[in-house]
Amino acid sequence: MAIRTSSMHSCFKVLACLPLMALCACATVGASDGGAPAKTAVAGSVPDGGSPYGLFLAGQAAAQHGRSDAASGFFGRAANANVGQDGRYLGMRAFTAALLAGDVRAAAALAPTGPDMEPGLRRFGVLVRGVEALAEGQGKRARDLLTSPDADPAHEAATALLAPWAAAAAGDANGSIAHPIIADAPVSQFFANLDQGKLFERARRFDEAETAFRALIAKGDPGGIASLDLGEMLERRGRSADAVAIYDSAIGRYGDAGALGTARARAAAGKPAPREASLRQSAAEALMAPAGQLIEQKQGEFALAYLRLALRLDPERDEAWVMVGDILSDTNDLDGARVAYGAAHPGSDQYASARDKLAWSYQKAGDKDAALKIARETFAAAPDEPSVAVTLADLLRAGEQYDESAKVLDGIIARAGDNADWRLLYMRAVDFEESGRWPDAERDLQTALKKQPDEPELLNFLGYSWIARGEKLPAALAMVQKAVSLQPDSGAMLDSLGWGYYRMGNFTTAVTKLESAVELEPGDPDVNNHLGDAYWRVNRRIEAQYQWRRVLTLEPSAKLKIEIDEKLKHGLGAAAGPAVVAGS
């Protein structure tokens, strides 16, 4: 959004009334007071010799490029050099930039407090200051801020979830167990009810804590969250057998993967119970629910602000770091996303996911060596984690290191045995086929098809491979026909079908199918090549040569380029393969 006004002061007046995150969206500013043309700063640069206006422009550009950390510094310096309305506006910009960059301490110090400040930002500042007070161990101040009339109703869920923990930090046991009612927010209400059970335990009112947890379990307990909290409390109370019964019930509904299975094994073995979370850790967890809801509502910037607040309270919360990384990645702040993904701790539930995403951030940016290095390091640290192995195999395959990719997949497929996922077999079949091990690829594809007989990708891969080799043509044609019926808008599958008709000598039908394939995949050199061949066989020689020449403009492989050059010189030889009735 570019705003052109007659003065910088006017721009401040326009922007000061915008909501929180809109203040980080404007990339350019209008002409200066001297009437010079509008300027656009480069992120990280400081035009006009470090003047307030130059710092403002640099902050704008840094925010536009996703560099909230740099924007925070520029706006803060500009605000310190200004007074009056200009300085107030710059202070608000510095507040939002500091918050999005994760410098909550600075954001709390910069939070707008005066009556002439934009009301939404002022109220949001109360939430930020409350979190900072809680992080600093100032429980009474945090409680007073979060329960004050200035608390922002737009952030009711976050405030309502945090206030009981602030009361607990203030030593107000009765205030901590007050039951918040959060209107029209069932997810946040669930976590408010869950927190009440935790706060009852903290107040040593164990019977009431157990009642609160069991009430949530009776209402459905999505994912077994309340069961896990109740079981852990029972373990801490020396009731391991009761905890095992709770875990078994939840595992019966949700399976034993993840935390439930780990907790059940621990309790059954009589190992020490997990420690009760600290106040700061629990308060950070309370912010995760509204952050997740904001992400679902596509309000990534507000979600980022909440996550930064959660990490101020608990910088070890890996789930929050991964979510921060995802948001920053979506806004093309790759440096910030990589810092966030890199913060995950080895051994945590989020470590594998964070490292996988870190590797892919480099792959997508074209730094394949860095991506592969990270993937190898992660695989060495967690060789039994399937997602880690798949990421390494994918990156090796992208680098045409097919043999090594297949060896990585060998391990997870062997460990899974008969339960190996068909997608793993599919990926290994690609590696085998590319490295010239077709019998091994064929075996994996046939095994995968037994597991997933209606999967179009498997049908197409095996069917086309047989067609290309001139093997089992009737069965292969039936396979790709089924694939197309399941996925009729796939140009690749229509190409397989057209090529199947071609190899069986039904050139007229082949042309029809291949023309449709080219419409869907106009930039695919192989599809265009097949259509050229089909045109030649039905004596449409000029169109055939046009298609072959087009292939040369589509970055064909070296092998295909040689083949095309030969066809353009000599055409095609006599047709081979059985002739079939049209339409068969």
Write the DSSP assignment of 71-92 as a string of letters: HHHHHHHHHHT--HHHHHHHHH
The CA distance from 78 to 80, in Å, is 5
Cα first-last separation, the chain: 58
Please check whether residue 36 lies inside any domain of the structure. Answer: yes
Q: Is 128 found in the same domain as 60?
A: yes
Q: Is 53 found in the same domain as 136?
A: yes
Q: Give the per-residue pLDDT at 93.
A: 75
Dig out the tokens for 518 from the structure.
Answer: 């080219």
Number of structural domains the chain divides into:
2
Phi, psi of 259 (to 5 degrees): -65, -35
Per-residue pLDDT of the chain (584 residues; tens, 9 = 90+): 232 222 222 222 222 233 334 433 332 222 223 332 223 333 334 444 456 556 666 665 665 555 656 665 666 666 565 544 455 666 677 788 888 888 899 889 888 887 767 777 788 889 999 999 999 999 999 999 998 887 766 668 888 899 999 999 999 988 898 888 887 788 889 999 999 999 999 999 999 999 999 999 999 898 899 999 999 999 999 999 999 999 999 999 988 767 899 999 999 999 999 999 999 999 999 999 899 989 999 988 899 999 999 999 999 999 999 999 999 999 888 888 999 999 999 888 899 999 999 999 999 999 999 999 999 999 998 888 899 999 999 999 999 999 999 999 999 999 999 999 999 999 999 999 999 999 999 999 999 999 999 999 999 999 999 999 999 999 999 999 999 999 999 999 999 999 999 999 999 999 999 999 999 999 999 999 999 999 999 999 999 999 999 999 999 999 999 999 999 999 998 765 554 433 33
Domain span at residue 216 reads 177-276
The CA distance from 312 to 300, in Å, is 18
Residue 433: Cβ within 10 Å count: 18
The CA distance from 505 to 554, in Å, is 27
Q: Is 88 found in the same domain as 18?
A: yes
Q: Is 130 found in the same domain as 193?
A: no
Q: Give the per-residue pLDDT at 50.
A: 58
Q: Is 203 found in the same domain as 264?
A: yes
DSSP state of 28: B
Please check whether residue 286 lies inside any domain of the structure. Answer: no
Q: Is 138 found in the same domain as 26?
A: yes
Q: Give the per-residue pLDDT at 36.
A: 29
The enclosing H or E element of 536 equals: helix 525-537
The CA distance from 523 to 378, in Å, is 36
The CA distance from 476 to 497, in Å, is 9
The CA distance from 70 to 101, in Å, is 8
Residue 447: how many CA atoms within 13 Å on its side-chain side? 20
User: How many residues appear in the chain?
Assistant: 584
Instruction: State how far the alpha carbon of 314 is from the alpha carbons of 117, 284, 288, in Å.
Output: 30, 6, 11
Q: Is 183 found in the same domain as 142?
A: no
The CA distance from 130 to 124, in Å, is 10
Q: Give the per-residue pLDDT at 582.
A: 34
Across 559-581, b (16+ Cβ under 10 Å) vs e yields ebeeebeebeeeeeeeeeeeeee
The three state secondary structure string of 136-202 is CCCHHHHHHHHCCCCCCHHHHHHHHHHHHHHHHHCCCHHHHCCCCCCCCCHHHHHHHHHHHHHHHHH
Q: Is 77 found in the same domain as 189?
A: no
Q: Could you write out the DSSP letters of every residue in 85-141?
A: HHHHHHHHHHHHHHHHHT-HHHHHHH---STTS-HHHHHHHHHHHHHHHHHTT-HHH
Please check whether residue 550 lies inside any domain of the structure. Answer: no
313: helix, coil or strand? helix
Radius of gyration over every alpha carbon of the chain, rounded to an integer in angstroms: 31
Q: Could you write out the DSSP letters of every residue in 449-480?
A: HHH-TT-HHHHHHHHHHHHHHT-SHHHHHHHH
Please check whether residue 321 lies inside any domain of the structure. Answer: no
Residue tagged 């948001």 (tokens): 327
The CA distance from 182 to 175, in Å, is 16
Please check whether residue 303 lies inside any domain of the structure. Answer: no
- Give residue 311's Cα distance to chain centre: 18
Q: Is 65 found in the same domain as 193?
A: no
309: helix, coil or strand? helix
Q: Give the per-residue pLDDT at 123.
A: 84
Q: Is 117 found in the same domain as 40?
A: yes
Say which CATH number the domain at 221 has: 1.25.40
Last residue of a domain, one of 276, 294, 312: 276
Please check whether residue 313 lies inside any domain of the structure. Answer: no
DSSP state of 224: G
Amino acid at 461: F
- Give residue 321's Cα distance to chain centre: 11
Residue 288 near residue 322, CB atoms below 8 Å:
no
Last residue of a domain, one of 224, 248, 276: 276
Last residue of a domain, one of 133, 148, 163: 148
Q: Is 104 found in the same domain as 183?
A: no
Please check whether residue 228 lies inside any domain of the structure. Answer: yes
Q: Is 191 found in the same domain as 64?
A: no
Please check whether residue 138 lies inside any domain of the structure. Answer: yes
Dig out the tokens for 211 from the structure.
Answer: 């009642």
